[in-house]
Amino acid sequence: MSEEIKTTQDIAEPTAPVAAEQATEEVAAAPAEATKAEDKGDAKRGFRRGAPRNGKGGPRRNDRNSRAPREKPEFDQKTLDVRRVTRVVSGGRRFSLHVTLVAGDRNGRVGLGTGKATDTQAAMAKALKSARKNMIKLNLTDNKSIIHETDAKYDTAKVWISPNKGKGLIAGSSARVILNLAGAANVTAKFHGGTKNKLNNARATMKALRKIATIT
């Protein structure tokens, strides 16, 4: 009787690992079946496994590298001032923007312009057109300086501009923007008037530079 019990136990013991292996195979087979089902769904929608899903089924393009390089503008520009202007008419108030802009090629050519419109982009376009129309050509030396000192007055703004030897551009306010866009590197500019109006200071600077420049 005891021998029969041992024989039964010996036969029953190997069945436990077999059951565990079968359970492992079933668990491993479940993700595989899910993957197959997902592949079938992708195939119905037109996708391939491993292909980027960008809506077209093809490889994704690198838009940054495919863009054409931008053309460099002829003149660099800098906005000096943007003011909001209100005009009272019979129908009420009308609002517009007044833009003061400086344009230059950093090689001696520079111009000052103003523009007024109802939106900023249109006002800047008009100011740039005016700056190109009023462009002057400076006679710069080899070390990017002016040939001699000059001064001018516009309204209450007074400016004095002089060359310097290797000290760099020493200027502030509107004069620095104009001289920088003109390409001047070794120039000193000082305002003696008490006004802080950027437009008047800029017009005084352009008036002084026009004395030593060629009008284009």
How far is Cα 12 from Cα 8, in angstroms, rounded to an integer? 6
Same structural domain for residues 39 and 142?
no
pLDDT above 80 for 61: no
Residue finishing a domain among 64, 84, 109: 64
pLDDT above 80 for 39: no
- The answer to whether position 71 is within a domain reads no
Tens of pLDDT along 198-213? 999 999 999 999 999 8
Q: Using pLDDT thresholds of 50, 70 and 90, give the confidence band for residue 48.
A: low
Q: What is the CATH number of the domain that holds 196?
A: 3.30.160.20
3-class SS of residue 3:
helix
* Long-range contacts at 84-89 (CB < 8 A, ≥ 24 apart): 85/116
Indicate whether this model's pTM tops 0.85. no
Same structural domain for residues 183 and 84?
yes
Give me the DSSP letters along 38-57. Answer: HHHHHHHHT--TTS--SSSS
Q: Give the contacts of 117 (CB within 8 A, at least 6 positions apart).
A: 96, 97, 123, 125, 126
Residue finishing a domain among 19, 39, 64: 64
> What are the φ/ψ torsions at residue 92 (nearest 5 degrees)?
135, -150
Answer whether 129's CB lies under 8 Å from 109's CB.
no
Q: Using pLDDT thresholds of 50, 70 and 90, give the confidence band for residue 27.
A: very low
Number of domains in the chain: 2
> What are the φ/ψ torsions at residue 90 (nearest 5 degrees)?
-65, -30
Q: Which residues pair with 73 in a beta bridge?
A: none
- The answer to whether position 14 is within a domain reads yes
pLDDT of 58? 53
Same structural domain for residues 81 and 147?
yes
Task: Print the domain residue range for 108.
Answer: 76-215
> What are the φ/ψ torsions at residue 6 (nearest 5 degrees)?
-60, -40
